[in-house]
């Protein structure tokens, strides 16, 4: 017999409706990282946009893994994450972030966070 109070998707009621408060109300690590990047953009006088958040996050992730990313690398990384942005959009965001001093274009055509921006993220500026 069908019981409308029992979920039919294979999850228990406890899984779907009564998750612990920390999971529901606490910030995930991604949200905390986004807050840092939002603060960084604000310090440089830039508005927050999804593409800027994702591009900076991609550069930070690459730096954590001791990798260097150029335009194609950032674009590929975003596509792997399921973020469908055009190559031109990614290139323009990188150019803008570079002109505002948030990131730098290295000699090998890779991008990295500017040292002043790194200080802001670390809370030293």
How far apart are the C-alpha atoms of 50 and 33, rounded to whole Å? 13
CB proximity list for 7: less than 8 A, separation 6 or greater: 13, 16
pLDDT at 23: 44
Instruction: Work out the pLDDT band at 8, boundaries 50, 70, 90.
Output: low
CATH number for the domain that contains residue 113: 1.10.10.10
For residue range 33-91, list pLDDT tens digits in order.
Answer: 689 999 999 999 999 999 999 999 999 999 999 999 999 999 999 999 999 899 999 99
- Does any domain span residue 8? no
Domain count, the chain: 1
Domain limits at 75? Answer: 20-122
- The DSSP letter of residue 69 is B
Region 112-116: mean pLDDT is 94
pTM of the model: 0.72
| Residues 54, 62 contacting (CB under 8 angstroms) | no
In a domain, 55, yes or no: yes
| Structural domain includes residue 24 | yes
Please state, in angstroms and rounded to a whole number, the distance separating the CA atoms of residues 82 and 45.
Answer: 28
Give the pair of three-digit tokens for residue 103: 């990131």
Domain annotation covers residue 71: yes
Q: Does some domain include residue 56? A: yes
Per-residue pLDDT reduced to its tens digit, 9-20: 555 444 444 444
Cross-strand partners of 111: 69, 105
Residue 17 in tokens = 């409706």
| Between 119 and 4, the higher pLDDT residue | 119
Q: Over range 103-112, report the average pLDDT.
A: 96
CA-based R_g, the chain, Å:
19
């Amino acid at each position: 017999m069908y019981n409308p109070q029992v979920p039919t998707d294979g999850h228990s009621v406890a899984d779907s409706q009564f998750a612990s408060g920390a999971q529901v109300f606490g910030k995930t690590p991604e949200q905390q990282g986004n807050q840092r990047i939002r603060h960084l953009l604000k310090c440089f006088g830039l508005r927050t946009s999804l593409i800027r958040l994702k591009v900076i996050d991609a550069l930070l992730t690459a730096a954590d893994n001791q990798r260097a990313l150029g335009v194609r690398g950032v674009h590929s990384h975003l596509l792997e994450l399921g973020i469908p942005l055009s190559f031109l959009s990614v290139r323009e965001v990188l150019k803008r972030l570079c002109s505002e001093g948030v990131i730098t274009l290295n000699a090998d055509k890779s991008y990295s966070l500017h040292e002043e921006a790194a200080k802001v993220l670390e809370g030293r500026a």
